[in-house]
A and B are shown apart, each in its own frame.
Chain A
Amino acid sequence: MRDDGMAAISDRELAPQGSTPLLRTLAGDWLAADEAGYRAAWDAYLRETAIRCLLYDNTVAGERYLGWNALALDRALLARLVAATEALGRVFARAARAVQHDPATLEELGFPWAVAEMLANEPILPLLSPIGRFDFLLDETGEWRLLEYNSDTPSGVRETIGAERLLHARLPDRARFRRLGAGLATRLRRAFARLLAAAPRPVRRLGLVTDAGYAEDLAQLLFLRELLRGVGPEIVLGDVGNLIVRRGRVLLLGQEVQALYRLYPVERLYGQAVFPGLVEAALAGRLLLLNPLAALLAQDKALLAWIWEHREAAIFTPAERRAIVRHLPETYLVTRAPADLDRRAFVVKEFFGREGEEVYFGAGVSDEDWLRCQEWRTFVVQRAVVSQEVEDVIWRGDVLQRVQRVPCVGSYLADGRWGGLYVRLGERITTNQAQHVGAFVERGGGLVRRGDRRRTRNRPAR
Chain B
Amino acid sequence: MAVPRPVRTHATPGRTLGARGAYRRWYAAAGPWAGFFRAVPLVAVARGVLAPRADAAETAAADQAVERLAATLADAGRAEGWLGQPEVLLLLDLPGPLGVSVAARLAPAGVRPVLLSLLWPEPAALVPAAALAAALLAHAPRRWPEGPAQYAFLLGRERDTPASAADLAARFDNRYRLGEVDLPSPARLERGGVGGVVACRDGAVPAAPDLDHYLDVLAGAGVPLRRLALGARPDSA
Residues of A within 8 A of B (CB): 47, 50-51, 54, 56-57, 59-64, 212-215, 218-219, 222, 237-239, 241-242, 244, 251, 253-254, 397-398, 432
Structural contact, A215 and B176, CB atoms closer than 8 A: yes
- Taking A59-B35, A215-B38 as contacts, is the C-beta distance between A222 and B172 under 8 angstroms? no
Structural contact, B172 and A253, CB atoms closer than 8 A: yes
Query: Is B151 located at the chain interface by the 8 A CB criterion?
Result: no
A398 to B120 Cα, complex, angstroms: 31
A237 to B173 Cα, complex, angstroms: 10
Structural contact, A60 and B168, CB atoms closer than 8 A: no
Binds A, one of B20-28, B71-79, B196-204, B213-221: B20-28
- Listed residue (A50, A62, A218) with the most chain B CB atoms within 10 angstroms of its CB: A62
Binds A, one of B95-103, B134-142, B183-191, B228-236: B183-191
CB nearest neighbor in A for B49: A222
Query: Is B169 located at the chain interface by the 8 A CB criterion?
Result: yes
Show 30 A/B contacts (Cβ-Cβ < 8 Å), sorted by A: A51-B20, A51-B23, A51-B43, A51-B47, A56-B40, A56-B43, A61-B181, A62-B35, A62-B184, A63-B35, A212-B174, A213-B175, A214-B176, A215-B40, A215-B176, A218-B120, A219-B120, A237-B122, A237-B172, A238-B172, A239-B168, A239-B173, A241-B168, A242-B171, A242-B173, A251-B169, A253-B170, A253-B172, A397-B32, A397-B191
Partner of B173, one of A50, A219, A238: A238
- Listed residue (B33, B35, B47) with the most chain A CB atoms within 10 angstroms of its CB: B35
Q: How far is the CB of A153 from chain B (nearest CB, A)?
A: 18
Query: Is B3 located at the chain interface by the 8 A CB criterion?
Result: no
CB-CB contacts below 8 Å: B15-69 with A: 19-20, 23-24, 27, 32-40, 43, 46-47
- Listed residue (B20, B171, B172, B175) with the most chain A CB atoms within 10 angstroms of its CB: B172
Structural contact, B120 and A212, CB atoms closer than 8 A: yes
- Taking A218-B120, A241-B168, A397-B191 as contacts, is the C-beta distance between A59 and B36 under 8 angstroms? yes
Contacts of B20 in A (CB 8 A): 51
Structural contact, B43 and A54, CB atoms closer than 8 A: yes
Structural contact, B191 and A253, CB atoms closer than 8 A: no
Query: Is B118 located at the chain interface by the 8 A CB criterion?
Result: yes
Q: How far is the CB of A158 from chain B (nearest CB, A)?
A: 12
Tier of interface size on chain B: 35 or more
A238 to B184 Cα, complex, angstroms: 30
Residues of B within 8 A of A (CB): 19-20, 23-24, 27, 32-40, 43, 46-47, 118, 120, 122, 168-177, 179-181, 184-185, 188, 191
Given contacts A61-B35, A61-B188, 16 further A-B pairs with CB under 8 A are A47-B23, A54-B47, A56-B39, A56-B40, A56-B43, A57-B38, A64-B35, A213-B175, A215-B118, A237-B122, A238-B172, A241-B173, A242-B171, A251-B169, A253-B170, A254-B169
Structural contact, B120 and A222, CB atoms closer than 8 A: yes
A215 to B184 Cα, complex, angstroms: 17
Shortest 4 CB-CB contacts between residues of A and residues of B: A62-B35, A239-B173, A61-B181, A59-B35
Q: How far is the CB of B154 from chain A (nearest CB, A)?
A: 15
CB nearest neighbor in A for B175: A213
A212 to B174 Cα, complex, angstroms: 6
A116 to B26 Cα, complex, angstroms: 51
Counted as pairs of residues, one from A and one from B, with CB atoms less than 8 Å apart, the total is: 82
- Taking A47-B27, A56-B43, A61-B185 as contacts, is the C-beta distance between A239 and B172 under 8 angstroms? yes
- Listed residue (A215, A218, A242, A432) with the most chain B CB atoms within 10 angstroms of its CB: A215
Contacts of A222 in B (CB 8 A): 120
A57 to B36 Cα, complex, angstroms: 9
Partner of B172, one of A63, A215, A242: A242
Q: How far is the CB of A51 from chain B (nearest CB, A)?
A: 5
Q: How far is the CB of A405 from chain B (nearest CB, A)?
A: 19
Contacts of B37 in A (CB 8 A): 59
Contacts of A253 in B (CB 8 A): 169-172
CB nearest neighbor in A for B19: A51
Partner of B176, one of A51, A61, A213, A237: A213
Contacts of B181 in A (CB 8 A): 60-61, 432
Q: How far is the CB of B124 from chain A (nearest CB, A)?
A: 9
Contacts of A237 in B (CB 8 A): 122, 172
Q: How far is the CB of A237 from chain B (nearest CB, A)?
A: 7
Contacts of A214 in B (CB 8 A): 176, 179
Q: How far is the CB of A293 from chain B (nearest CB, A)?
A: 25
A213 to B160 Cα, complex, angstroms: 10
Partner of A51, one of B35, B36, B46, B179: B46
A54 to B42 Cα, complex, angstroms: 11
CB nearest neighbor in B for A60: B181
Contacts of B177 in A (CB 8 A): 213
Structural contact, A212 and B36, CB atoms closer than 8 A: no
CB nearest neighbor in A for B181: A61
- Listed residue (A214, A219, A253, A432) with the most chain B CB atoms within 10 angstroms of its CB: A253
CB nearest neighbor in A for B168: A241
Contacts of B38 in A (CB 8 A): 56-57, 215
A59 to B182 Cα, complex, angstroms: 9
Q: How far is the CB of B50 from chain A (nearest CB, A)?
A: 13
Partner of A212, one of B24, B43, B169, B172: B172
A253 to B174 Cα, complex, angstroms: 12
